[in-house]
């Protein structure tokens, strides 16, 4: 006997009300299984989508972080070299300095300074989309200071080429170097605090 015939016999014997009572557990079980299947399917689908989105976002974060760290590594070398050149340029102004071998030496140091200046500007420009805004702003301030010092040493080069060492204001040289070092340290501090924040976030 099929289900439809069985239901028809119950209706004929006991009426519709009894049929509902008899069939209620039967349909309840079917509906329960039906909704459980739907919920499980939706949950599994959402779970897979969540896993996929999580993987994509995590992978994207890793790529951005790798690029950011590479930027810091590369530009750090330029910053350290610029700081060294500041002192060598200053020392070359002293006729008795061991670093003051010739005017050509000063010019070579100035050219190297110019190359590093351009290198830092280009690296900041190329990577600015991958670096936090506050770090970029600090670098832009640092670059402005590099440019100020660059113009200053250019003027000093003119004085040296005209052999007018006595007209060089050594106090101004020290002031320019101190301003450069202050700007460099300020930028490095920004980077350090940012990296420290990342380290805490990724360790949680």
DSSP for 63-95, written as a single string: HHHHHHHHHHHHHHHHHHHHHHHHHHHHHTTST
Kindly state the average pLDDT of the residues 133-153. 93
CA dist list (Å): 88 to 76, 120, 147: 19, 20, 17
pLDDT grade, residue 16 (50/70/90)?
Answer: very low
- Three-state secondary structure string covering 163-198: CCHHHCCHHHHHHHHHHHHHHHHHHHHHHHHHHHHH
Distances (CA, A) of 41 to 9, 27, 28, 47: 37, 21, 20, 10
Query: What tokens does 80 get?
Result: 């350290």
- Tell me, what DSSP letter sits at residue 15? -
**Whether residue 18 has pLDDT greater than 50:** no
Handedness of CA 92, 94, 97, 103 (dihedral sign): positive
Distance CA 41, CA 14 (A): 39
Lowest-confidence range among 59-68, 130-139, 169-178?
59-68
Whole-number Cα distances in Å, 168 to 86, 110, 161, 163: 16, 16, 12, 10
95-122 pLDDT tens trace: 554 445 567 788 888 899 999 999 999 9
Q: Is the entire prediction scored with pTM above 0.75?
A: no
Q: Give the pLDDT band of residue 183 (cuts 50, 70, 90).
A: very high
Query: Residue 125 belongs to what H/E stretch?
Result: helix 103-127
Give the model's pLDDT for residue 15: 45
pLDDT tens for 29-55 read 555 555 566 556 655 565 566 555 544
Give 168's pLDDT tier (boundaries 50, 70, 90). Answer: confident
**What's the token pair of residue 126?**
């190329």
């Amino acid at each position: 006997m099929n289900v439809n015939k069985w239901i028809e016999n119950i209706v004929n014997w006991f009426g519709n009300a009894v049929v509902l009572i008899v069939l209620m557990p039967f349909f309840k079980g079917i509906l329960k299984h039906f909704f459980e299947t739907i919920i499980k399917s939706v949950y599994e689908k959402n779970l897979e989508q969540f896993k996929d989105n999580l993987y994509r976002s995590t992978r994207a974060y890793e790529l951005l972080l790798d690029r950011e760290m590479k930027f810091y590594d590369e530009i750090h070398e330029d910053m350290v070299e610029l700081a060294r050149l500041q002192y060598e340029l200053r020392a070359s102004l002293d006729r008795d300095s061991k670093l003051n071998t010739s005017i050509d030496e000063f010019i070579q140091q100035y050219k190297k300074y110019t190359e590093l200046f351009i290198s830092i500007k280009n690296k900041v420009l190329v990577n600015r989309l991958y670096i936090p805004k506050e770090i970029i702003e600090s670098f832009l301030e640092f670059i402005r200071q590099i440019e100020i010092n660059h113009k200053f040493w250019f003027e000093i080069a003119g004085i040296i080429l005209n052999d007018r060492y006595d007209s060089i204001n050594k106090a101004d040289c020290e002031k320019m170097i101190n301003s450069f070092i202050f700007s460099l340290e300020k930028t490095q501090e920004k980077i350090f605090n940012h990296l420290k924040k990342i380290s805490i976030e990724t360790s949680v």
